[in-house]
């Protein structure tokens, strides 16, 4: 039997709602991540300024300034100083490790101390989440006073960058999949959306909803789209009275305007096309609606 158009309409709206929910969730997550990134970046820059402040104090300088922390790449920052300073590698490693403990995403990073003049690396080391993979050379050699830039490069966080990239990058793909899914569930207006078996026996008449035709005694009679939808409703409820209001709603609800005499006109056309089989006819049930009567 054909599936009721009213039921399909409800299912279509339900499926469309289900498709919209993931889109809304994805967009909310994406923007939430972006907001969190902005906060984490600001917090990280404050922590790096704290590193610069402590290094100046360790160098015996309590008056000069730590210049604004400069972000030179997605996950790379530079700490600059107003004046020259000296540093002890052991103290540098311990200070940065202690301060960056407060950065939940700073578990893997590389530190390079650059010479201001030629950007050559004066000292460098690497810290990993797994401490046995740390690379910290020459810890006992004090570095002379000079103009230094401390570069800190963090390993990208899977949550912060990869997830955000996949979420935002995947939106077009999700939209395309959603479009195909909704389109596949939406019945065409000019054909009845029926089950896989679209040919229904109505007495001696074969109703082919897919190809919009009636086959009576081997002869095919073409149906219009509206006639197909109308007969599809009758075929789903043979020998049962169907209210006039229901037929009008299910046939013309997409147009938004229902013309009272239109239903009568299409009922009349269907009757003429079913006349070849005397055992099937559409009858008027006064003050109630219509019924497709099929005699055995």
Q: Is pLDDT of 3 > 50?
A: no
Among candidate residues 117, 116, 135, the one with its CA nearest the CA of residue 126: 135
Task: Please give the pLDDT value at position 205.
Answer: 87
Q: Are the beta carbons of 230 and 266 closer than 8 angstroms?
A: yes
Task: Please give the pLDDT value at position 6.
Answer: 47
pLDDT digits (tens, 9 = 90+) for 249-296: 887 765 555 555 678 888 899 989 888 888 888 999 988 899 999 886
Q: Which CATH number fits domain 188-294: 1.20.58.220, 2.40.30.20, 2.40.110.10, 1.10.10.10?
A: 1.10.10.10
* 296 three-class SS: coil
pLDDT digits (tens, 9 = 90+) for 164-192: 555 556 556 666 656 555 555 544 443 33
The token pair that represents 6 in the structure block: 């009213």
Q: Is the pTM of this model over 0.85?
A: no
**Any idea where the domains of the chain sit in the sequence?**
14-159, 188-294
Determine phi and psi for 291, rounding to 5 degrees.
-140, 135
Q: Give percent of the chain with pLDDT exceeding 70.
A: 70
Look over the chain and give the mean of its residue pLDDT values, rounded to a whole number.
78
- 1 falls in which pLDDT band (50, 70, 90)? very low
Determine phi and psi for 146, rounding to 5 degrees.
-165, 180
Cα gap 141→152, rounded to integer Å: 20
pLDDT digits (tens, 9 = 90+) for 108-130: 999 999 999 888 998 989 998 87
Among candidate residues 262, 293, 259, 258, the one with its CA nearest the CA of residue 279: 293
């Amino acid at each position: 039997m054909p599936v009721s158009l009213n039921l399909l309409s409800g299912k279509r709206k339900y499926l469309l709602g289900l498709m919209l929910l993931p889109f809304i969730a994805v967009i909310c997550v994406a923007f939430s991540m972006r907001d969190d990134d902005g906060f984490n970046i600001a917090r990280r820059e404050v922590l790096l300024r704290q590193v610069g402040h402590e290094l100046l104090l360790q160098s015996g300088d309590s008056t000069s300034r730590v210049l604004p922390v400069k972000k030179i790449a997605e996950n790379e920052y530079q700490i600059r100083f107003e004046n020259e300073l000296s540093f002890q590698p052991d103290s540098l490693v311990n200070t940065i490790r202690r301060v960056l403990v407060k950065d939940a995403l700073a578990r893997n990073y590389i530190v390079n101390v650059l010479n201001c003049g030629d950007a050559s690396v004066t000292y460098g080391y690497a810290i990993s989440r797994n401490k046995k993979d740390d690379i910290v050379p020459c810890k006992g050699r004090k570095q002379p006073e000079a103009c230094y830039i401390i570069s800190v490069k963090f390993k990208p966080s899977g949550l912060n960058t990869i997830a955000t990239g996949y979420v935002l990058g995947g939106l077009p793909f999700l939209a395309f999949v959603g479009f195909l899914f909704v389109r596949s569930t939406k019945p065409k207006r000019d054909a009845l959306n029926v089950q896989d078996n679209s040919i229904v026996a109505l007495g001696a008449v074969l109703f082919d909803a897919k190809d919009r035709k009636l086959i009576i005694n081997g002869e095919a009679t073409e149906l219009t789209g509206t006639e197909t939808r109308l007969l599809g409703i009758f075929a789903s409820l043979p020998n049962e009275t169907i209210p006039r209001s229901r037929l009008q709603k299910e046939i013309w609800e997409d147009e938004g305007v229902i013309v009272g005499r239109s239903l009568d006109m299409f009922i009349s056309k269907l009757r003429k096309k079913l006349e070849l089989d005397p055992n099937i006819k559409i009858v008027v049930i006064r003050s109630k609606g219509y019924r497709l009567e099929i005699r055995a």
